[in-house]
Structure 1
């Protein structure tokens, strides 16, 4: 479905392109992904929505504890993998960072999350059962009184130390943790 770039759909599409254009990748691999994401958006007016079978942008956030010593991961219900919180854009969304924050809040149950400044931490492109996900990855700090609450999308939520998380998570999550720690 090709949707005209007007209203909130257009606002989100423009915001995603603006975020990617302004973002400074950490290496050549991230620069290649940034270029691919922007090309995808230019070629697919519907590239923000799950209906775009050629792939679509998603947003996620790695939740970090207030002491900055642990991360909260979810055992994803469908994929059966330990991942950061994240997911699809929805029609009311107008900003990519808000998608990441909404998804992290919904999936962690933690109110008051705050995204780290500086925009996205990393990009990760991966195949899922629905299509290619062009994930824009952020990091979010939990407040001091954070209490997690499992959502229907998760089998389990658990705080992991950085090393422990690296032992149970896939390469994408390990890279996101390393890039987040470098920013902290």
Structure 2
């Protein structure tokens, strides 16, 4: 049996699409803006599994993570090499990602170089923003809280110029527009339940 593909031959992930629908339908939004973005993302997902792929020009679902240190007193941000702003870690879903939380955890691990990260599989935010993918598109970004192990040492990846740990009330400048809104729900997730090593 062949793997389903989109028009350009890229594989699509039906299991990831199913997970995204289940996660967002069952999620209690953390703000009015997040609720609106969630509803628009569910509308996008009505296009089928292709909405998980960057090949979908109308927009596609991405996954990102706000990484907190082991004490919850600092957050890890990267200075993105393309956008030239400090932002949480994350990016495109890949065909091998089984869930949105797994995609966010993979991205956080790849971009931070930190092993042993733990994730809360309940999103903390959904945000929609324009990007230059495929000549112009939108990221429907589903965001998660991630906890680093004690003594975690971050390493700069190919996608960032710098990484830095910052107190939540002293975030760097220039900062990506949607990053500040992640702080309160991420800290609430940390207080609510222990975070998981594998989604």
Q: Could you tell me whether the CA contact under 8 Å between 1:8 and 1:94 is conserved in 2? A: no
1:166–1:174 Cα contact (<8 Å) kept: no
Matching residue of 1:154: 160
User: 5+ residue gaps in structure 1?
Assistant: none
Aligned to 1:165, which of 163, 171, 176?
171
Is the 1:82–1:168 Cα contact (8 Å) retained in structure 2? yes
Q: Deviations over 1:4-59 (max 9, x none)?
A: xxx97110110110110111112332222111111110124310000111000000
Q: Secondary structure at the match of 2:171?
A: helix
Cα RMSD of the aligned pairs, angstroms, is 1.8
For 1:126, the equivalent position in structure 2 comes to 129
Aligned to 2:13: 9
How many residues are matched? 180
The answer to which structure has the higher helix fraction is 1
Cα deviation for residue 167 of structure 1 reads 5.5
* SS of residue paired to 2:61: strand
**Secondary structure of the equivalent of 2:49?**
coil
Report the equivalent of 1:107: 111
Instruction: State yes or no: 1:65 paired with 2:69.
Output: yes
Q: CA–CA distance in 2 between the matches of 1:166 and 1:19?
A: 31
Please report how far the alpha carbon of residue 178 of structure 1 lies from its aligned counterpart in structure 2 after TM superposition.
Answer: 2.5
1:74 and 1:157 in contact (8 A); partners too: yes
**Cα deviation 1:113-143 (Å, max 9, x = unaligned):** 00135x1000011111112000000010000
Whole-angstrom distance in 2 between the partners of 1:27 and 1:161: 22
CA distance in 2, matches of 1:156, 1:166: 12
**5+ long unaligned stretches in structure 2:** 191-199
SS at match of 2:169: helix
What SS class does the counterpart of residue 162 from structure 1 fall into?
A: coil
Relative to the length of structure 1, the TM-score reads 0.91
**Matching residue of 2:189:** 183
